[in-house]
Amino acid sequence: MTLPAVLDFVGVSVFAVSGALAAGRKQLDLLGVVVLALVTAIGGGTIRDVLLDRNPIFWLANGSYILVIAASALLTVAYARWRRPPRSALLVADALGLALFSITGAQIAERTGLPPVSCVVLGTITGSAGGIVRDVLSAEIPLVLKRGNLYATAAIAGTATYVALEGLSVPRPIPSFAGMAVIAGVRLAAILWGLQLPVFELDSSAEKR
């Protein structure tokens, strides 16, 4: 198996865990849990493949993805019945999924010969789309839009790091791992220490003047 294929499987598993944990907060039934895990796990890669017109979509031709996702979701449920997962488990699983999918999205875009800025945007979409679909279906405001969590920021910083190091011909797989480290690091720093970017607040910024 190639590195992107392995990362796809790992990314799919951690997003499945994050989908199952989100489902647990919504009190879905067991198949509902599997469905939310599936949508979360295949959402980003599916949008990547559709936008790049890659055919077939990664999980359609190879049934293993769906089985890995269903197994990850059910193991999450089984674990949660035995021991309470910490509140932070959803955020950590989501951060790892974001890191893995953003970089694989940027890798595939780069290999297609797209310009650097498109690689950054496509990587960010690949990484965040699954979580966005999970949050929209759970009727939550998407994490990516919640203030002060550096979600899109992390994905953009990490994929830009990856694209820059590749452009400098840094030997592989250093650019990939550096990019993932930036993404996971920025996200976890935002979660742990409350780092944030300046906020664009339309009404109050206007009232100050």
Site for its own copies in 85-124 (CB under 8 A): 85, 109, 114-118, 121-122, 124
- By residue count, the chain amounts to 209
Minimum distance, C-beta of residue 197 to its own copies, in the bound complex (Å): 4
Q: Which position among 14, 72, 75, 148 is part of the footprint of its own copies (CB under 8 A)?
A: 148
Phi, psi of 138 (to 5 degrees): -85, 5
3 or 201: whose CB is closer to its own copies?
201
As a dihedral over the C-alpha atoms of residue 24, residue 28, residue 32, residue 36, rounded to 10 degrees, the angle is -40
89 or 178: whose CB is closer to its own copies?
89
Q: Please, are residues 118 and 109 in contact by the beta-carbon 8 Å criterion?
A: yes
Q: Is 193 in the site for its own copies (CB under 8 A)?
A: no
96 or 154: whose CB is closer to its own copies?
154
Which residues within the stretch 10-49 sit at the binding site for its own copies (CB under 8 A)? 20-21, 23-36, 38, 46
45 or 97: whose CB is closer to its own copies?
45
Which residues within the stretch 157-176 sit at the binding site for its own copies (CB under 8 A)? none
Sign of the Cα torsion 182, 113, 41, 59 reads negative
Q: Which whole-number Å values give the CA distances from 203 to 147, 153, 199, 200, in the listed order?
A: 16, 23, 12, 9
Which residues within the stretch 46-75 sit at the binding site for its own copies (CB under 8 A)? 46, 50-53, 55-57, 59-63, 66-67
Minimum distance, C-beta of residue 181 to its own copies, in the bound complex (Å): 19
Q: In 42-137, where do the E strands start and end? A: none
The CA distance from 123 to 48, in Å, is 8
Q: Please, are residues 20 and 33 in contact by the beta-carbon 8 Å criterion?
A: yes
Q: Which position among 144, 163, 180, 184 is part of the footprint of its own copies (CB under 8 A)?
A: 144
Q: Which position among 5, 6, 145, 174 is part of the footprint of its own copies (CB under 8 A)?
A: 145
Stretch that binds its own copies, among 11-19, 100-108, 168-176, 199-207 (CB under 8 A): 199-207
Minimum distance, C-beta of residue 145 to its own copies, in the bound complex (Å): 6
The CA distance from 91 to 86, in Å, is 10
The CA distance from 46 to 68, in Å, is 16
Q: Which amino acid would we find at residue 38?
A: L
